[in-house]
Amino acid sequence: MAFDLIDRYKKRSSPPGQEGIQGWSIQWFRQTQQRYSPERHKGPLPARPIISTPSLILSFSLPLFPPFPLSSFLPLSLLLLTLAGCGSLKLNTPTAGANDWPTEGASARRQYAPLTEIAPPLELVWDYNASAAFGPGSPLIIGNAVIIATRQGEIQIVEFKTGKRRGVKGFGDAVEGTPAFKDGILFIPGAWGGRALYAYGLNRGDLLWSVKGDPVETGVLISSGNVVVVDAAPRIAAYAPRTGTLKWERRLDPGAAVLASPVAIGENAFAVANEDGLVTALDGATGKVLWTADAGAPVQSTPSSRDSLLFLPTTRGQMVALDTHDGHRVWAYDIHSQRVYFSSPAASDSGLVFGASDGKVRALDPRTGTLKWAFDGGEAFSAAPLITRNVVYVGGLDGKLYALKRSDGTKLWDYELDGRVKSALASRGDYIVVASEPKNVYLFKASDPDYAENK
Amino acid sequence: MFWRRILFLSLLVAPVVPLPASAQYGYNFGRNKIHYEDFDWQILKTEHFDIYYYPEMQDLAEHGAFFAEEAYEDLQNKFDFALARRVPIIFYSSNIHFKQTNTTPGFIPDGVGGFFEFLKGRVVIPANGNIHQFRRVVRHELTHVFTYARVVRALRDHRVPLEQYLPLWFTEGLAEYWSGEPDYQHEMMIRDALFSNYLVPLENLDRISGTYLMYKEGEAVCRFISEEYGEEKILQLIENSWKNRDFREIMAATLREPFEEIAQKWLVWLKKQYYPSLESAQIASYTTDPVAVRGFNGKPAYYQFDDGTRKVYFIGNKTGYTNVYEVEVDSLYHPVGEPQVLIAGERNDRFEAFHAFESRISTSRQGKLAFVTKSGERDVIHVYDLERGELEGSYGFDDQIAVYSPDWSPDGTKIVFSSIDRSGYSDLFTFDLESGNLKKLTNDVYDDRDPAWSPDGRFLAFSSDRTSMGVRDAYNLFLYDVKDGGIQYVTYGDQYDMTPRWSPDGNHIVYASAQRDTTGRYGAQNIWVADVSGKVSASPEVALLSTDAPMVIPATGQAEERQITEITGTAFDPVWTEDDRLLFTTLERYHFTIRSLDDVDSLVADPREEVPIELADVGSHWSFGSIGTEDGVRSVPYHRKYNLDVAQGAVSQNPIWGTTGGAILAFSDMLSDDYWYLTLYNTGTAQSDFLNSMNVALTRVQLNRRTSVAYSVFRYGGLRYDITDPDAFEVSPLYRETMYGGSLTISYPFSMFRRVEVGTSFAYSDKEISFKENSERRAVLLSNSVSLVHDNTIFNGNGPVEGWRANLTAAYTTDVMYSNVNYFTLSADVRHYLRLGNQVTFASWGMGRINQGKEARLFVLGGSWDMRGYHLFSVRARKMWFTSQELRFPLVNAPSVYLPILAPFGISSIRGAAFVDAAHVWNDGYYDEERLPLVPGYTTGETMGSAGLGLRVNIFGGFVLRYDLGYRFSDGFRDRDHHLFKQFFFGWDF
């Protein structure tokens, strides 16, 4: 009689083309031997179970996609990760500094434009193995910490200077959207298998409050002092940051999901775009609808806003600019292809830069929507770029980090990473944080401030 | 490649038992997948792909490289994704070459257009003469590559096991949908499924997994999602695949509607598109006369004998084998009796396989039938004399690999056909049977097919994508003037015009055409007629073939084409008989049938539709782009590099038997022509026993040539369990043996059905059996064997149902140093399967085996697989004969239809069996009685057996549970046990 003591276990995290253990199992069973009496072996024999011993079998199988790293061979890492997931997060930083990156795109307007000088070539300061993948948003940088949300439901804190892990804690099965940090509290959207929103006090390392509800797969917005999230229903809800009290809520068209994070379009207003291209502007304090507009095509990547314009990337080769006051269309840039996905844009005074699935990075004049330049990287770009003073940085699905001249898109430098970059970048000072597939986080530092000018 | 697996297994076993495996436990059968060609592989390195090709098809490979990069650019946008590594794409220039590939172990039928294989991430695609189809398949397979990459990424990101992959209907449907607009075959399938009311609802698509209908319904679902919900939703379905194991839940969450509502909407969406066309359409079974309706039937031809007898000939498949059938018809073309097999195909070397869907057959005025089969490494045209009832000859051509649709010249001296050579392009040829002269008529990249000789011998009508509309994947009809080599348009338009045949008077061409409706979608393929009276010579003559290159005569003027049928599903392969009848093939209720219509002249005079042919609109020629060395792309010769394909291992710990464990590693090259296997395991029960019990084997299997070679070096040691060893205890045949040496096996296939295998092994053996006198035996064993194997059986889910297979083996094993071992082996195993009905088979098995000499090993019988009523492998002796007769019949097909509760258990059929088994085993004298220790009441030297009934339950289409009950007999079947035996096991029928 055999029975499983430990059920089949699957290691489920490996990079593309680097899959490791497909499966292994441990079985314990009782082995019963039928033994026959030697002196009677010439005649008919009764079956008598007289040996009954326990056995332990460990088996594994590996369908392999070369090359495979030995590290993925080790289930130990998963064990450690599981143990680590029971830990806590602490950060002695009550508020975000001016140069910090406390939310997706650095600010509620999701501009990805710190405009500091970060000149290539960059030097790799450290790389960190998060043992988990990342959503499309950016990491956060608060004080001496890089905060990373993973698709395995963890928030990890990594020391900014050294790349050493300082804490990890689980929040459900997946965190897809980017958390937001304000006044010592980290607001974490729960995409699956847990609560819809968590407020975690980083100073004391404790959970302040959480709310149940439909999963939240987009980033958190701080608007009018409220914590605003859009869930899968879709429903927009605003909570008091300290108590989690529901301040207001508003339901949107249930027939169209919201896949892009909400974006601020003024001091007290923000906008939400759904997959039908319907844009709804709301008052952050009351939830009152200010205006609605049609982007003309589905919006799946997070928009950005600057001055009085809201920039909406669509999935059908259009970038649409709406007036933030009334939602009227100011301009639309159209490459006349129904099948090109535009990434979230980075918006500065002089340029609106975004990647696309056709392998190009484009820069538009944010006032007119006219094309200023385009860089053809060959492979798709799905992550938001980062605009610095003279250089645009963008990660591609070819696994490269590119530095492009901000004025004309000329490639200045590139760096090959371990996997595709599909998460947005974050920066502070002359540092850039990059998250790439399958589970790596890199910190780069500018090494030659004159490089871009000389080039 | 079943036999290769057997070969490999035998190699693993052979070093342990220095005899061929077939002489021991196993039975070595299986058809042969033959590597006829030794391709000189090259690799074209484009931006994203490694294109594998051979020099003869370089031009086509460069087109393929262009198609791949073109598809990449498109799919990158559709998936919003990029591939992380280069994708190997292996091209073959024809299906015949493709069938030889080792990249998949199975046999590849004609209909397979290509595949994406997960293990090495490679794509394998054959050309078939149609460059549009080639392009479409490239896109189809690359859609799979992108889908796989994107799904795996989503699953791994969220630590979800890969078993939670998307359902097959969705991945295949998406690959079809994103590889191009729906073709006429899609329309044919969906129309018939809707109109005949067998369209499988969305919730049940898993039940038709892998069928052609599943592909087409899946394509329709993806199109529906795109049109009704937005194309982005398809990508979201993929991206959300990690969220739920049930794809219906993913659909509901992504499309934001209950699944039942989505399924219903899809049905309504389909019906809205197709039902309006029912108003004017003909139901084939109501409006036409049946000629052959049971099974698959197609490609009709007819002949009227001198005595007035009329017969219709066609290619058909009713039981699993494809044959040429004949059926006598009366003057109204009503069949007189059942169709009879004229040429039995797919069971011998000469008629190895038919291109059942692609190649027509033709009868001449002189009573000769021409048809094509695969025969070895290429296709062959066969000529059968209908009057005399005998095969007259078979004609193959060195450079022509695939051959299609032969048609006779009016005087019966020549045959025109289309053919694909090693370049992968399809052109027209004529073959003069008297002189043996083969002449190439066209020579370009266009797909010229289905030639038909005019009654006056002057023209060849054929279908081709050489039309200027061909750039849109259209086919039109052309005339080739055999006098001067000129080519002129017959039809023109964005449509599929196929399979032309001439009217008896030579003034019309009848053909199948699929034309677009007002929405731009293809309608049903139907029968059309074009008037060519103005183009045909008035004086019948068989002109000499021009030696000049074909020229295209500028198209001028205006003509018209007339639709004479409006069948709901499809109608194609028309033949216009001398007595003004039309024979053609239709699809209705998922069956291809041959039907007839009378009075074709009046149908032409009063057509269902007339469409002007605007020949003045004919444009210029078209061509596709290519990427080659001229574009700066490198081409390098292929050198084998071995990658680790799979590693498996196990370790067990037991207080009595100790810790044992081992692993096997398998490596192979990109083309899977060369395998290396490393087996490593230890059976030691104590630390001191570790080195003695170390087992190592290194085996190489080379499959890149017609002759397959496998060799191995090994070292085995430790405790062994071997029920065939004559010295070991019968009850518990455990003993110690140390053995090292090497083995070599060579297998040469004569054909798909027959092969010879030669094996040799040389090994040192030191055997020790405890508790026996002279317990230690040393030997230097040389073992040689030769086997002849035949197998042309076909299977259902339970086992063979028709055909026969046999294995004759002779072997000799001797100890060349100590003379401790010296015996020979003779074995004959013959099994025959007689098909009594579609689902009823009478199976007969006869086997005789002898091992004679010093230390001759034992053969074994017993168990549910052969000697029923006796324990598994419990009947052992050095000599035996055995026979089994079994009637296999159905009890319940698809029982879950009657009892839905059975559906989750995957019970696909329940069948019954009535059997009689008999055997006689002996060691020395035929009647010498020795008691068999494991078999109560059984002795050697007497004929014993069993008879009873059995139940076979097939689970998930391939796993069979067996339950038998009956009586055992002894003493030459004179004595019968008093009690019924009951036996439960698993496994296929013999």
B428-467 residue pLDDT tens: 999 999 999 999 999 999 999 999 999 999 999 999 999 9
Chain B interface disruption, residue of A25, A42, A152, A394, most B CBs within 10 A: A42
A76-126 residue pLDDT tens: 444 444 444 456 787 776 677 888 999 999 999 999 999 899 999 999 999
- Per this entry, what is the length of chain B? 990
Chain B interface disruption, residue of A22, A68, A344, A357, most B CBs within 10 A: A357
Show residues of chain B in contact with A55, CB under 8 Å.
652-654, 657
Predicted confidence at residue A17, as pLDDT, reads 36
Predicted confidence at residue A26, as pLDDT, reads 58
Q: Which amino acid is at B954?
A: N
Predicted confidence at residue B342, as pLDDT, reads 97
B152 to A151: CB separation less than 8 angstroms, yes or no: no
| Cα dihedral value B927, B929, B930, B935, nearest 10 | 90
Predicted confidence at residue B904, as pLDDT, reads 80
Give the dihedral sign, CA A291/A295/A299/A301: negative
Predicted confidence at residue B543, as pLDDT, reads 32
Please give the C-alpha separations between residue A315 and each of A296, A357, B181, B733, in angstroms, as whole numbers: 10, 9, 21, 70
Show residues of chain B in contact with A259, CB under 8 Å.
236
> Has residue A29 got a pLDDT over 60?
no
**End-to-end Cα distance, chain A:** 75
Please, which residues 765-824 of chain B have a Cβ atom closer than 8 Å to chain A?
Answer: 771
Count of C-beta atoms within a 10 Å radius of residue B681: 19
Phi and psi, residue B955, nearest 5°: -110, 130
CA–CA dist A431, B333 (Å, integer):
86
CA–CA dist A147, A156 (Å, integer):
6
| Two tokens, residue A230 | 């859009």
Pick from B56, B87, B65: which is nearest to B149 by CA?
A: B87
B77 to A275: CB separation less than 8 angstroms, yes or no: no
> Has residue A340 got a pLDDT over 70?
yes
Please state the rounded mean pLDDT for residues A293-307: 97
pLDDT band at B101 (very low <50, low <70, confident <90, very high): very high
Of the ranges B37-46, B120-129, B679-688, which one carries the lowest mean pLDDT score? Answer: B679-688
Please, which residues 147-176 of chain A have a Cβ atom closer than 8 Å to chain B?
Answer: 151-152, 173-174
Please, which residues 237-266 of chain B have a Cβ atom closer than 8 Å to chain A?
Answer: 243, 253-254, 256-257
B329-346 residue pLDDT tens: 999 999 999 999 999 999
A127 CB burial (10 A radius; 0-12, 13-18, 19+): middle
Mean of per-residue pLDDT scores for chain A: 84
Strands B875-877 and B879-893: unpaired
pLDDT band at A61 (very low <50, low <70, confident <90, very high): low
Show residues of chain A in contact with B162, CB under 8 Å.
22
> Has residue B486 got a pLDDT over 70?
yes
Please, which residues 547-566 of chain B have a Cβ atom closer than 8 Å to chain A?
Answer: none
B232 to A300: CB separation less than 8 angstroms, yes or no: yes
B871 contact A CB<8A? no
Between B655 and A57, the more confident residue is B655
Chain B residue with minimal CA distance to A214? B253
Strands B49-53 and B87-92: parallel
B542-581 residue pLDDT tens: 333 333 444 455 455 567 899 999 998 899 999 999 999 9
> Has residue B1 got a pLDDT over 50?
no
Please, which residues 652-691 of chain B have a Cβ atom closer than 8 Å to chain A?
Answer: 652-657, 661
> Has residue A4 got a pLDDT over 60?
no
Predicted confidence at residue A58, as pLDDT, reads 64
Residue among A59, A66, A133 whose CB faces B644 most closely: A66
> Has residue A451 got a pLDDT over 70?
no
Predicted confidence at residue A55, as pLDDT, reads 55
Chain pair A-B, CB pairs under 8 angstroms:
162
CA–CA dist B614, A83 (Å, integer):
76
- What is the C-alpha radius of gyration for chain B, rounded to an integer number of angstroms? 32
Please state the rounded mean pLDDT for residues A352-363: 97
B620-668 residue pLDDT tens: 889 999 999 888 899 999 999 999 999 999 888 777 767 788 999 999 9
A315 to B121: CB separation less than 8 angstroms, yes or no: no
Predicted confidence at residue A35, as pLDDT, reads 39
Q: Which amino acid is at B11?
A: L
Looking up tokens 């369209």, which residue turns up?
B199
Please state the rounded mean pLDDT for residues B890-897: 87
> Has residue B95 got a pLDDT over 70?
yes
CA–CA dist B202, B267 (Å, integer):
9
Mean of per-residue pLDDT scores for chain B: 91
CB B485 within 8 A of CB B549: yes
> Has residue B476 got a pLDDT over 90?
yes
Residues whose CB is less than 8 angstroms from the CB of residue B340 and which lie 6 or more positions away in sequence, other chains included? B325, B326, B327
A16 contact B CB<8A? yes
Residue among A12, A31, A340 whose CB faces B77 most closely: A340
| Cα B23 → chain centroid | 30
Looking up tokens 């002279």, which residue turns up?
B774
Residues whose CB is less than 8 angstroms from the CB of residue A82 and which lie 6 or more positions away in sequence, other chains included? none
Pick from B930, B948, B925, B953: which is nearest to B940 by CA?
A: B930
Predicted confidence at residue B27, as pLDDT, reads 65
DSSP-assigned letters across all residues of B803-863? EEEEEEEEEEEEETTT---EEEEEEEEEEEEEESSSS-EEEEEEEEEEEEEETPPPEEE-S
A69 contact B CB<8A? no
> What's the gap in Å between the CA of B730 and the closest CA on chain A?
8
Show residues of chain B in contact with A14, CB under 8 Å.
156
Please state the rounded mean pLDDT for residues B84-103: 95
Between B877 and B615, the more confident residue is B877
Which DSSP state fits B714? E
| Two tokens, residue A108 | 């509620």
Q: What's the half-sphere exposure (Cβ side, CA atoms, 13 Å) at B633?
A: 23
B649 to A60: CB separation less than 8 angstroms, yes or no: yes
| Two tokens, residue B757 | 């295998």
Q: Residue B731, SS3?
A: coil
CA A296, A298, A303 angle in degrees (round to 5)?
Answer: 95
CA–CA dist B222, B225 (Å, integer):
5
A62 to B648: CB separation less than 8 angstroms, yes or no: yes
Predicted confidence at residue B957, as pLDDT, reads 83
A12 to B159: CB separation less than 8 angstroms, yes or no: yes
Q: Which amino acid is at B909?
A: S
B753-764 in b/e form (b: 16+ CB < 10 A) is bbbebebbbebe
